Amino acid sequence: MATSDTTLIDPSGADNPPPGAITPLPLPAGELPVASFELPGGRIWRAGTLSYTRGGLLTLFLCLLGGDFFWQLRERALAPTIPVLLRQFGASDFMTALLQGTIAPALAIFLAPVISYRSDRYRSRLGRRIPFLLVATPPAFLAMMGLALSPWLGRGAHQLLGPHSPGLVTCVIGMFTLAWLIFDVAVIITNCVHGALVNDVVPREVMGTFFGWFRAASLGAGMLFMYFLFGKIEQHYVAIFLSIGLFYLVCFTVMCLLVREGDYPPPPPPVEGGPLGRFFEAVAAYFRECLTKKYYLWFFLSFFLAYMAFQPVNLFSVYFSESVGMSKKTYGYWSTIQFALSLAQAPIVGWLADKVHPLRLTMAALLFYGLTTGVAYLYVHDVGTFAAAHVICGTISGFWLTATAPLAPALLPKLKFATFASALIIAQSLAQIVASPIIGWIVVRVNHGRPPALRDYHVIYAWACVFITLSLVVTLVVHKYFMQYGGRRNYVAPE
């Protein structure tokens, strides 16, 4: 992102500092310089060695949110589309749960700690986060094309194998699975590093506000997709995937090139010995740093239980709507309403997170979601009641997502943020791995022999109510530790 007298200040000693910049005085050895300047009466926000005026902060937000919009459009498009395409290709409900909720999270469990650990210790001219994002973006685009072209690729593989082919449906799903795995590797890299980039470059005082607008951008992308495109996905998914993929490729790359990271303290010296010795030392360091304090273990468990609650609803909401007679166009309409309500609340929740604290908002969201999913289990029986539950429960889950977005930056150590945050990715992945096959098996058992249009999916709301209540109980324990470590005003993350 280009520097100017109203934008981000490069603390690393740029060749052409902006007019009005003040050269920082030398500091004692071991301290990083903080370059900043301030117009008369102006305020300066700082994130590490980065300093921003009000105009610089606005420019940073616009750059990040511009790339994030198309990143989230990609995510919002794939999440509801994958179950539809898998059913169209002939996959069973159990296969859908396995592919979407088990295989990809298993990859994340192994890849997330490695990527996050390496990112925290990586140093380059572009920073320690942006190089990872740049590397992951083109494969994500190519994988989206592979998902869209799975029928043609599968048909080609079927014809090529001839009598040795396992069948057309198997070939199509095989090609789909291959593209899905490539896509998920790229997504894991992006998810591991993107939050850490935000933690590094966005000042702590406005972190909640940023994530409120980040959620608004995400929900805006979801609204556009669900209202204009979801009803047409079965007939035009190739063109839709191609368009979204191209926009994502260009805009996310531009974002990475415009946003500038600051300076970081030097990483720990590399461990002596061969690759195997360094690997085991890295594993030991990861477990030592992330998984030896009860406070953080309770924190990770609270997310694990919450994602256990959300997973069945994410997997089978579209199928539930079809079972009560709702068309895809109507489902897209009510999803748009839900996104609009979540979008309207997101900036407010983000602002409240800065004023009240995201941990308190998280507890409120968990309580509301537990109550509404319990009511949904008892009363959803037709199109109208499903629409109400879909909108209300979805809006409250959006409340939780917005409240928890700045929670990790507020509670985890800053310099090792990616490493600690990867444990949250592991918690989410484990929840998906555990919940997806179990709920898939339960749905199959409940609906044995029934055609898709007559299947019963009420169990997903009962499951959600139970696990979100458990998450609330654990979050209360986290809050107790949080107060012991200083509370909202004096909190210091233990290391």
Nearest C-alpha neighbor of 441 from the set 79, 99, 93: 93
Which domains, ranges and CATH numbers included, belong to the chain? 1-52 (no CATH), 53-262+274-488 (1.20.1250.20)
Q: Are 218 and 72 in contact (CB under 8 A)?
A: yes
Q: Give the integer Cα–Cα distance in Å for 416 and 288.
A: 12
Q: How far is CA 381 from the centre of its chain?
A: 32
Q: What integer pLDDT is reported at residue 41 of this predicted model?
A: 46
Q: Give the integer Cα–Cα distance in Å for 327 and 156.
A: 33
- The model carries a pTM of 0.75
**Which residues pair with residue 51 across a beta bridge?**
9, 46
Taking 70 as the pLDDT cut, the residues of the chain under it are 1-42, 101, 271-274, 452-453
Q: What integer pLDDT is reported at residue 273 of this predicted model?
A: 65
Residue 9 is given by DSSP the state: B
- Taking CA atoms, 446 is separated from 311, 443, 487, in Å, by 18, 5, 46
**Which residues pair with residue 47 across a beta bridge?**
50
- Taking CA atoms, 364 is separated from 9, 403, 470, 476, 492, in Å, by 38, 9, 14, 11, 23
Q: What is the helix (H) or strand (E) element at residue 126, kind and residue range?
A: none
Nearest C-alpha neighbor of 416 from the set 158, 132, 200, 178: 200
Q: What integer pLDDT is reported at residue 21 of this predicted model?
A: 36
Q: What is the DSSP string of 193-209?
A: HHHHHHHHHS-GGGHHH
Nearest C-alpha neighbor of 310 from the set 210, 218, 412, 435: 435
Residue 2 is given by DSSP the state: -
Q: What integer pLDDT is reported at residue 272 of this predicted model?
A: 67
Q: What integer pLDDT is reported at residue 27 of this predicted model?
A: 37
Q: What integer pLDDT is reported at residue 76 of this predicted model?
A: 80
Q: What integer pLDDT is reported at residue 32 of this predicted model?
A: 39
Which residues in 50-194 belong to E strands, given as ranges?
Answer: 50-52
Q: What is the CA radius of gyration of the chain?
A: 23
User: Which two tokens mark 453?
Assistant: 């249009």
